[in-house]
Amino acid sequence: GAVVSQHPSWVICKSGTSVKIECRSLDFQATTMFWYRQFPKQSLMLMATSNEGSKATYEQGVEKDKFLINHASLTLSTLTVTSAHPEDSSFYICSASRANTNNEQFFGPGTRLTVL
Amino acid sequence: GQQLNQSPQSMFIQEGEDVSMNCTSSSIFNTWLWYKQDPGEGPVLLIALYKAGELTSNGRLTAQFGITRKDSFLNISASIPSDVGIYFCAGQFSPGTASKLTFGTGTRLQVTL
């Protein structure tokens, strides 16, 4: 149990376009979902925390108007990178946590975004 | 954002050798976690530690939660080729509800035959 999926697994887009990444908890209801960004050979950096039905909480330095997060249900969160630029190219990873599991986060497989 | 300091940054070892890596923080956590990440994939949880001083094993892996709550180490015994990957520590301070993780800088492990 506790499987998290992401779609797409990779995406290439032109500069200036918007890209949506989905994160789904397949076999549990996620009370909270997290979005991370990982640049090559670097660690995971938390971008934002989202709870179902409420606005996401963004980390310092992350533009909320550029990285739109929607957590419409207990099994789905989406991250939209608006007006993407080459510097947004990165590996985006989501995680989901559920109640009564010692706050454990279950990670998705990641989405590789390349902006040309 | 904050990152935890991990050392060593990378290591090359021979199959069968033991490996040790550690993680330090300037602030305390009440949960320490160790993850392994393979290229192009998300991190996978290896060991979770919930109490200062706790020593926990998972097969060939052993991890300890430092008494000061500001550090942790991970040992891998008798390494094998599939141990190759990047190991991350993560600290969590969670007063009851789901809370964010702060990741370490990572230790890249390569195992030679």
Q: Is the pLDDT of residue B31 over 60?
A: yes
Q: Report the DSSP pairing between strands B31-37 and B85-92.
A: antiparallel
Single-letter code of the amino acid located at B75: N
Contact B25, B71 (CB under 8 A): yes
Count other C-beta atoms under 10 Å from residue B30's C-beta: 17
The better pLDDT of the pair B82, B2 is held by B82
Contact A105, A46 (CB under 8 A): no
How confident is the model at residue B95, as a pLDDT? 60
Q: Is the pLDDT of residue A100 over 70?
A: no
How many Å apart are CA A3 and CA A19, to the nearest integer?
23
How confident is the model at residue A11, as a pLDDT? 97
Sign of the C-alpha dihedral, residues A96, B50, B70, B36? negative
B18-29: average pLDDT: 94
Q: Is the pLDDT of residue B11 over 70?
A: yes
B2: contact with A, CB 8 A cutoff: no
Q: Is the pLDDT of residue A5 over 50?
A: yes
What pLDDT band is residue B97 in, cutting at 50, 70 and 90? very low
Q: Which of B35, B37, B88, B110 to mutate to test the interface with A (most CBs of A within 10 A)?
A: B37
Q: Is the pLDDT of residue B98 over 60?
A: no
Q: What is the pLDDT of residues A64-95, one digit of tens each?
A: 999 999 988 999 999 999 999 999 999 999 99
Q: Is the pLDDT of residue B96 over 60?
A: no
Helix (H, G, I), strand (E, B) or coil at A88: helix
Average pLDDT, chain A: 93
Nearest to B103 by CA among B53, B51, B29: B29
Residue showing tokens 């706790």: B54
Q: Is residue B87 exposed (0-12), middle (13-18) or buried (19+ Cβ within 10 Å)?
A: buried
Q: Is the pLDDT of residue B78 over 60?
A: yes
- List A residues 70-109 in contact with B (Cβ-Cβ < 8 A): 91, 93, 95, 97, 102-105, 107-109
**Inter-chain touch B100–A34, beta carbons under 8 Å:** yes
